[in-house]
Amino acid sequence: MALHTDEEILQEERRYFRVFLLLGILTMFEIGVIYMPIPHFTIVLALVLLAVVKATLVAAFYMHLSTEKTTLKWIAVTPMILCVFLLFMLTPDLGAVTRLVTHALAGAESAAEHAEH
């Protein structure tokens, strides 16, 4: 086990605190984005991007991936890439299900109205 000098420990503590402050600022920005008068798609996109940035900061500094070998970094990044890929591949299915439910509800309402007359 490697021993660290007091200066190295202090430097590491400062870095943790700076990342903590940055995560807090990004969180406040996320809260602010929700109340901005912009389209919902832009809000969602901004929140997703901020979440990715925050997850990257946590992985890099608190999980110590910034000092790891490239192979371990790719092991950590690959599931994130697959998650984004699956999200975009399944989005059309979500639209199809939403349309089916909407049409089924509209059909049930019109049938109920027709039955009343």
Q: What is the pLDDT of residues 52-96, one digit of tens each?
A: 899 989 988 888 877 778 887 788 788 888 988 888 887 777 676
Alpha-carbon gap, residue 30 to 28, rounded angstroms: 5
Would residue 59 count as lying in a domain? yes
User: Same structural domain for residues 40 and 58?
Assistant: yes
Would residue 5 count as lying in a domain? no
Q: What pLDDT sits at residue 33?
A: 95
82 to each of 40, 65, 74, how far by Cα in Å? 25, 19, 12
Q: Give the number of domains in the chain.
A: 2
User: Same structural domain for residues 23 and 55?
Assistant: yes
For 24-50, the pLDDT digits (tens) are: 999 999 999 999 999 999 999 999 999
User: Same structural domain for residues 73 and 113?
Assistant: yes
Q: What pLDDT sits at residue 18?
A: 96
pTM of the model: 0.63
